[in-house]
Amino acid sequence: MQILHFDIKPHNILLDHLFIPKVSDSGLARLCPLDNSAVSLTAARGTIGYVAPELFYKNIGRVSYKADVYSFGMLLMEMANRRKNLNATTENSSQIYFPSWIYDQFSKGNDIKFEGATKQEEETIKKMMLVALWCIQLKPCQRPSMSKVIEMLEGKVEGIQMPPKLYLYPQERQNDEEISKITCSSSSLSDEIESSEV
């Protein structure tokens, strides 16, 4: 059996006296068999800002454990950047949705500097952000499994390729012919993640 939490967010990650994280608040969780790749839900579950898009848009993919991968990606992005992912009060409209701004910076080849961070810390932060960008892909089939996420986080940043362009909602991706041609299969995703570099 596997547990789908449906509410991974900072408030639900508790640290014990040794700073070992514990996931709490399983009120929305569902228990399902390992061989069952999709879950049937009658309503969206979770917290806005961390809820996977397939919980709202049924046409982009089936609800599965990849919903928790998405939530973890949003959590990881916030941890790496020490800020909320959505900031409606910013003066720069490109920074309203922080993951899109991060994606744009990386795709332009810009490094993101953090005041007081060592070179090693900046590499770790960059790795966390790249992994987070993979986790928050619009289509569930484009997101890595959690075992792949762990593998990427434990590996070197040079081994992680730039993920496909981020989209906020399905209508946005229909305007991009190149991305709309992407098909999803588990083998092609693994090859895609491993084949190119940043």
Q: What is the pLDDT of residue 30?
A: 75
Which pLDDT score is estimated for 6?
80
State the pLDDT at residue 146.
Answer: 92
User: pLDDT tens per residue, the chain (198 residues)?
Assistant: 777 788 888 889 899 999 999 999 877 777 776 766 666 665 566 788 888 888 877 777 787 889 899 999 999 998 888 766 655 455 555 555 778 888 988 999 888 888 888 999 999 999 999 999 999 999 999 999 999 999 999 999 999 999 998 776 555 555 544 444 555 654 445 555 554 444
**CATH numbers and ranges of domains, the chain:** 2-170 (1.10.510.10)
Q: What is the pLDDT of residue 60?
A: 73
In degrees and rounded to multiples of 5, residue 57 shows phi and psi of -110, 100
Give the model's pLDDT for residue 141. 92
pLDDT at 161: 93
Strand partners, 15: 21
Residue ranges in the chain assigned as alpha helix (H): 66-81, 98-107, 119-135, 146-154, 170-173, 177-180, 186-195
Give the pLDDT confidence score for residue 198 in this predicted structure. Answer: 42
Nearest one of 198, 57, 186, 44 to 133, comparing CA atoms = 198
Residues with a known catalytic role: 7
Calpha distance 4→163 (Å, rounded): 24
What is the pTM assigned to this prediction? 0.78
